[in-house]
Amino acid sequence: MSVSDPFHLAIQVRDIDEARSFYGDFLGCPEGRSSESWVDFNLFGHQFVCHLNPALKDAPVTSHTNPVDGHGVPVPHFGVVLEMEAWEALAGKLKAHGVRFEIEPYIRFKGEAGEQATMFFYDPSGNALEFKAFKDRESQLFKKQ
């Protein structure tokens, strides 16, 4: 996936090797530069950095939830808007590997403007991730509902 204006996101993790395993090996994000305390990944065309915070071993990241379409959406969260086929493939892979979802993959706002596929899960450090795909991506991605 190529992105004309990629974002840069840095998060904290409790263990660099665990982050490498989850984001690199499991999610398939290519690794870039790194040190003992941080590692860069290509997250679907975006620069994504995991920074070590050893204090998280005893106190994992916590989330608040806000109601959206009948579900408690974890806040904060981050993720990527994928094409529908890529979202379906990722959802299948996560299910096959027994990932525990905070919100199972489903279609949100079905039949309405902004219809989208979405799923939420946590990384090993407790960071909430959302991956979604719009039924009509180009017209819905940034449209005010």
Coil, strand or helix: which one is 2?
coil
Q: What are phi and psi of 121, to 5 degrees?
A: -155, 170
Tell me the CATH number for domain 8-56.
Answer: 3.10.180.10
8-56 and 64-140: identical CATH topology: yes
Q: Which segments of the chain does DSSP mark as H helices, in order?
A: 16-19, 84-96, 137-140
For residue 101, the model assigns a pLDDT of 97
* 145 and 39 Cβ atoms separated by less than 8 Å: no
The string of pLDDT tens digits covering residues 101-127 is 999 999 998 888 888 999 999 999 999
Q: Report if pTM > 0.85.
A: yes
Q: Is 80 exceeded by the pLDDT of residue 94? A: yes
**Going by DSSP bridges, is the β-strand pair 71-75/78-81 parallel, antiparallel, or unpaired?**
unpaired
Tell me the CATH number for domain 64-140.
Answer: 3.10.180.10
Nearest by Cα to 37 from 50, 28, 46, 48: 50
The string of pLDDT tens digits covering residues 18-48 is 999 999 999 999 999 999 999 999 999 999 9
* Spans of all domains in the chain: 8-56, 64-140
Q: Is 60 exceeded by the pLDDT of residue 1? A: no
